[in-house]
A and B are shown apart, each in its own frame.
Chain A
Amino acid sequence: MFPNAFKYEAPTSIDEAIRLMDEYGYDGKVLAGGQSLLPMMKLRIAAPAVIIDINNLDELKGWSEVNGKLRIGAVTRQSELEHATELRDQFPLLSRTARWVADPLIRNLGTVVGSLVHADPASDWGTAMIALNAMVEAKGTNGNRLIPIDEFFVDTFATSLEENELAVALHLPIPTSLVAARYMKLKRKAGDFAIAGLAVQVAVDDEGRVSEAGIGICACGPIPLRAVKAEEALIGQRLTVKTIEEVSKLVPEDADPADDLRGSTVYKKDLLRVFAARALREIAEELHGKVEVQ
């Protein structure tokens, strides 16, 4: 309910924000949407000495196309991406994931980049970004770098960002062919974290064969995971009933869930299989008619 006392900084430029992060080091914590940080501070699970609020930084708001990628600024709200109709054809996974994340109030303030930096293993956004092969743009005192999402998550609540590096944006590859995506999630109640979840994006070529496949796994390991074997097995295939069945069985092989109140290891693995089959079936149905997929 009542956080420990903290100092509040509100930088007016990215450079100032990074200078403050450098100055305070471990004691500083960046505030974006605050939808994970503030509850943790209220419960005194987190007690940063300094809050560095980046919400005033206009350069971090909104999105644009940069070098063939969609660049999404770090304080872009989840709800903005959820409702951006212009992104739906090329990035269907954004709105499809958003509606599974917490509730509208949280999505109105929460940011996608903030969710990634928080690095919760049950992050729906982390899972979706795996499927989208996203990159995180980090800026520090030594300049910018792009971190592939597979190198970004290190462990539960830990990323490869340096202490004085600010995640300023997210880069999503712009698809060059037809894509379809699904987000599947089972939860105990509305707004809850996933028991297990799965993000799937598939791109198909003119012949209806899978040219790119991204499958992210939610809440089944220390970090959001990638279903590598299933992705590989999809490449070059048409989405036939047989392929879908075989591929979905591969998804749990890359998962590492734990037994907890939400369910057992075997249960969560089986959910991933069920979700993969459902997601791929729906994707096949959606693409059917647009190209020959089966």
Chain B
Amino acid sequence: MALQQNELRPMGKSIARKEDPRFIRGKGRYVDDVILPNMLYMSILRSPYAHARIRRIDTSAALAAPGVKLVLTGEDLAKMNLAWMPTLNGDQQMVLAVGKVLFQYQEIAAVIAETRAQAEDALQLIEVDYESLPVVVDPFEALEPDAPILREDREKKSNHIWHWESGDREETENVFREATVVVKQDVRFQRVHPSPLEPCGCVADHNAATGRLTFYITSQAPHVHRTVIAMLSGIPEHQIRVISPDIGGGFGNKVGVYPGYVCAVVASLKLGVPVKWIETRTENIASTSFARDFHMTAEIAAREDGKVLALRVKTIGDHGAFDAAANPTKFPAGLFNIVTGSYDFKTAFVEVDGVYTNKAPGGVAYRCSFRVTEASYLIERTMDILAQRLKMDPAELRFLNFIRKDQFPYHSPTGWVYDSGDYEKTLKLALERIGYDELRKEQAEKRARGELMGIGISTFTEIVGAGPKNTFDILGIKMFDSAQIRVHPTGKVIARLGVRHQGQGHETTFAQIIAEELGLSADDVLIEEGDTDTAPYGLGTYASRSTPAAGTAAALCGRRIREKARKIAAHLLEVGEDDVIWDGTVFSAKGFSGKSVTMKDVAFAAYTNLPEGMEPGLEATYYYDPPNLTFPHGAYIAVVDIDKGTGAVKVRRFMAVDDCGNVINPMIVEGQIHGGLTEGFAIAFMQDIPYDANGNCLAPNWMDYLVPTSLDTPPWETDRTVTPSPHHPIGAKGVGESPNVGSPAAFVNAVVDALSPLGVEHIDMPIFPWKVWNILREHGINE
């Protein structure tokens, strides 16, 4: 049950979300709610072909259509040097097609008209003469020597984008050479999409008189977007105000810069009025950044008793037509080398190659800290295969190989330093809560009767909170984050942060952090994010970095305020600063019981009754550069039953024990876990974006890209252990992505466990009923 927000010492309490009343009442303000005087509407013409030369574009009929004010093509943008834009992963991407198209639904032209319907009508009048080119949809075929070169703009005449490796190749090979047990498995993490409820969109409003651009945009990283727009457009950065209003879900989809944004800005610059662009569902799924699409091969070298020795991973990353991932610049494959997971491998070697294909661009981190989901899925899947080969219980194998509590801070063979963890405790709790031993007994009985039941375990380690500035940057901008707190004379507070929430509950949790530091209630603190004119610079909300980075900035900023408050309190209490005691809610004078002042008293004094020589006011800004990432972890267990007639899998139970360090608001954490588990469930059983041989996207809408409803979703059971981060001032670690990262392996492991008596070791996601049916019938199992 959620508590009221007016309690003092709110840290760790399930208080009601401050943002919910406006969302529940339909009073949120999303980008499509922004309606400005004289605003025009933009729609985008997209390519029906995956790979084709553009011979000619005729826009004359569209220009003559009712209400049409402007039609933009790649040629128009080329004159402004804007036909291409940089991606956050160091590649470049066409804004509007120039010369050729590289994926179906690629942006060809933009029409700006008085109404959206007029813009849509005029799109149909644009004539494009295409000459089709050979299509490459398979990344392995793209690497063949005779494959057509997709990216003619690059110097390198190959579809290979980059090679990245991590760990010790030689040592790993030595261990493999001598290992008595080696398991090897090809594992695909299919192409999925963050698919937020609200698609992407913007309103660009350039005022020719002031020279100012106000840009409303569905952005998880408004400050980064401001800088990128300044660099691209030449508009001075102080003349750009990016406002990211309420966001209807992001999940990594709203980190990148999309062609529609650039077109809307250009149109507003040219026309001198505001221009709105809002994607359709199909545009969102089929053209904005997808996630995953990793073709991975993992090998584990182990001893006969199950002790793991070395891990070797080779991966092809399919990025589509442009490498539009949004990873920290030094990490083209993100943090994929966290792939050794929760286990004490002595050595490891990981290599990844990025490849172009005729598919939509991307490779973003969908509710994931930069490829950690792929890594976690791979290691958790492969560990289960090792257990199966050695005829060991998968829980037992994990206990044998866990990094022990006393090994933290733990140096991983790929160079990470894990801050803290207690993997044994977390798995023990999960096993106990779900009744693991009884379930295994039940399974044995059912197997004897020919029934198919499976139990799947995933004990993942996350890596979140990017990040330390010497390692992490985006286009050179260091990945710190920030908070600014202003205490008003009546003791009420406004705090602004450089991140931007999209449903994570920042307005509540950050208010709790600051209220805790200042001895106030969450009700006293208003959190504001998303306006670059008011908020301090920050890198945004993704990769579970808000609490580890901005949350820390908020806490330390609060402490900075308290330092000044202590001086004022000393003045009010008429004692020396050293004699002032802070007990969490009041300042009191040492030895004088009953004499105390609250933060409210101090705030009023900061504007009315200051000590001599002190600067008036009570506000502070803090930029926090984390010394390390944080490493949340968890133990998830799924129990499934398989229908032998149809191949359908029913998830009977799911137990999620998370350890995200100290918890700020348990209710919000639980909500985050429910949401992420639902996404993980969808990835495991429903979601995929397949392409046919001609590069046609086969899931460009919610009819074929399946988003589960409450009717599909199994009941979730949750619990937690608490292993605080030693380097985070409030000991928190970040949690939003853990359930998406950790759960797919639990589901798949459970299905494979059910089928393991048949010798099945792996099934690629999504596990559609027909895949299971194929296996059953192949083995003569029938209803």
A contact residues vs B (CB 8 Å cutoff)? 1-2, 4-5, 43-44, 103, 186, 188-192, 195, 261-264, 267, 270-271, 274, 277-278
- Shortest B332–chain A CB gap in Å is 32
Counting CB contacts under 8 A, is B471 at the interface?
A: no
5 A/B residue pairs, CB under 8 Å, sorted by A: A2-B116, A186-B646, A267-B770, A270-B777, A274-B646
In the complex, the answer to whether A190 meets B769 with C-beta atoms within 8 Å is: no
Distance A261 CA – B692 CA, assembled complex (angstroms): 11
Q: Which residues of B contact A (CB under 8 A)?
A: 116-117, 120-121, 280, 282, 645-648, 686, 690, 698-699, 703-704, 706-709, 711-712, 768-770, 773-774, 777, 783
A113 CB to closest chain B CB (Å) equals 23
> Do the beta carbons of B711 and A190 come within 8 Å of each other?
yes
B460 CB, nearest partner CB in chain A, Å:
26
Q: How far is the CA of A274 from the CA of B769 in the complex (A)?
A: 14
Q: In the bound complex, what is the Cα–Cα distance between A100 and B646 (angstroms)?
A: 17
Per the bound structure, the CA–CA distance linking A5 and B699 in Å amounts to 27
CA distance A5 to B706 in the complex (A): 30
Bound state CA distance, A270 and B783, in angstroms?
10
- Residue ID in chain A nearest B115 by CB atoms: A2
A35, chain B: closest CB distance, angstroms: 13
**Cα separation A263 to B777 with both chains bound (whole Å):** 14
Shortest distance from the beta carbon of B396 to any chain A beta carbon, whole Å: 36
The reply to whether A263 and B120 form a contact with Cβ atoms under 8 Å apart is no
Q: Complex: how many Å from CA A280 to CA B646? A: 16
> Could you say which of A4, A192, A195 contacts B769, with CB atoms under 8 Å apart?
A195
Is there contact, CB below 8 Å, between A188 and B116? no
**Would you give the shortest CB distance from B44 to chain A, in whole angstroms?**
12
Closest chain-B Cβ to A132's Cβ sits at a distance in Å of 25
Known A-B contacts: A1-B120, A1-B280, A190-B708. Give 14 more (CB < 8 A). A1-B116, A2-B120, A5-B117, A186-B646, A186-B769, A188-B686, A188-B706, A189-B706, A189-B709, A195-B770, A262-B770, A263-B770, A264-B770, A267-B773
Decide: A2 and B709 in contact? CB cutoff 8 A: no
* B647 surroundings in chain A (CB, below 8 A): 267
Considering only CB atoms, which chain A residue lies closest to B710 in the complex?
A190
B706 near A192: Cβ-Cβ < 8 Å: yes
Whether A263 pairs with B116 at a CB distance below 8 angstroms is no
| CB-based contact A2/B770 at 8 Å | no
B280 touches A190 (CB 8 A): no
The residue in B646, B647, B703, B768 that gathers the most chain A C-beta atoms within 10 A of its C-beta is B646
Chain B residues near A271: list those with CB within 8 A.
Answer: 645-646
Cα–Cα distance between A1 and B44 once the two chains are bound (Å): 13
**Complex CA distance for A270 and B777, rounded to whole angstroms:** 10
The contact of A274 among B117, B645, B711, B768, by CB within 8 Å, is: B645
Give the distance in Å from the alpha carbon of A264 to the alpha carbon of B774 in the complex: 10
Residues in B neighbouring A264, C-beta threshold 8 A: 770
B773 partner residues in chain A, CB cutoff 8 A: 263, 267, 270
The majority secondary structure among interface residues of chain A is loop
Chain A residues with CB under 8 A of B704: 261
User: Within 8 Å CB of B707, what residues of A?
Assistant: 189
Nearest chain-B residue to A47 (Cβ)? B124
- Least CB distance from A28 to B in Å reads 21
| A267:B774 contact, CB within 8 angstroms | yes
Minimum CB–CB distance from B687 to chain A (whole Å) comes to: 10
Bound together, the chains give a CA A277 to CA B646 distance in angstroms of 12
A274 contact set on B, CB distance < 8 A: 645-646, 783
Query: What is the bound-complex CA distance between A223 and B120, given in angstroms?
Result: 33
State whether A189 touches B120 (Cβ < 8 A). Answer: no
Which residues does chain B contribute within 8 Å of A191, judged by CB atoms?
709, 711
CB-CB under 8 A from B770, the residues of chain A are: 195, 262-264, 267
Question: In the assembled complex, which residues on chain A have CB atoms less than 8 Å from the CB atom of B699?
Answer: 261
Given the complex, which residues of B lie within 8 Å of A263, measured CB to CB? 768-770, 773
Give the contacting residue for B645; candidates A4, A261, A278; CB below 8 A.
A278
CA distance A4 to B698 in the complex (A): 24
Chain B residues lying within 8 Å of A1, measured Cβ to Cβ, are 116, 120, 280
Please determine whether A190 and B709 come into contact, CB atoms closer than 8 angstroms: yes
Residue on B with the closest CB to A4?
Answer: B121
The 5 closest A-B pairs by CB, nearest first: A190-B711, A274-B645, A263-B770, A2-B120, A267-B770
A190: B residues at CB distance < 8 A: 708-709, 711-712
Q: Please give, as numbers and ranges, the residues of chain B lying within 8 Å of A4 by CB-CB distance.
A: 121
CA of A191 to CA of B711 in the docked complex: distance in angstroms?
9
A35 to B770, CA, bound (A): 29
Question: What's the least CB distance linking B9 to chain A, in Å?
Answer: 43
Which of chain A's residues has its CB closest to B280's CB?
A1
Instruction: Write out the residue numbers on chain A whose beta carbons fall within 8 Å of the beta carbon of B783.
Output: 274, 277
Please, how many angstroms separate the alpha-carbon atoms of A43 and B698 in the complex? Answer: 16
A266 to B, closest residue via Cβ: B777
Residue of A nearest to B698 (CB): A261
User: Hey, which chain B residues are within 8 Å of A43, CB to CB?
Assistant: 282
A249 CA to B708 CA, complexed, in Å: 33
**Contact partner, B686, options A44, A189, A277, Cβ 8 Å:** A189
Determine if A188 and B768 form an interchain contact, defined as CB atoms under 8 angstroms apart: yes
Closest B-chain residue to A192, C-beta based?
Answer: B706
CA–CA, A267 and B775, complex, Å: 12
How far is it, in angstroms, between the C-alpha of A68 and the C-alpha of B265 when the chains are bound?
A: 68
Q: Could you tell me the distance between the alpha carbons of A1 and B123 in the complex, rounded to whole angstroms?
A: 14
A4 to B65, CA, bound (A): 14
**A189/B708 contact (C-beta < 8 A), A267-B770, A270-B773, A274-B645 known:** yes
Residues of B within 8 A of A2 (CB): 116-117, 120
Q: Which residue of A lies closest to B704 (CB)?
A: A261
Chain A residues within an 8 Å CB radius of B121: 4-5
Our pick among A44, A186, A189 for the contact of B712 (Cβ within 8 Å) is A189
CB-based nearest B residue for A103 = B709
A277 to B116, alpha carbons, bound, how many Å? 52
**How many Å lie between the Cα of A113 and that of B706 in the bound state?**
28
B120: chain A residues within 8 A (beta carbon): 1-2, 44
Smallest distance from the beta carbon of B220 to chain A beta carbons, Å? 24
Chain B: CB-nearest residue to A39: B703
Which residues of chain A are near B712, meaning CB under 8 Å? 189-190
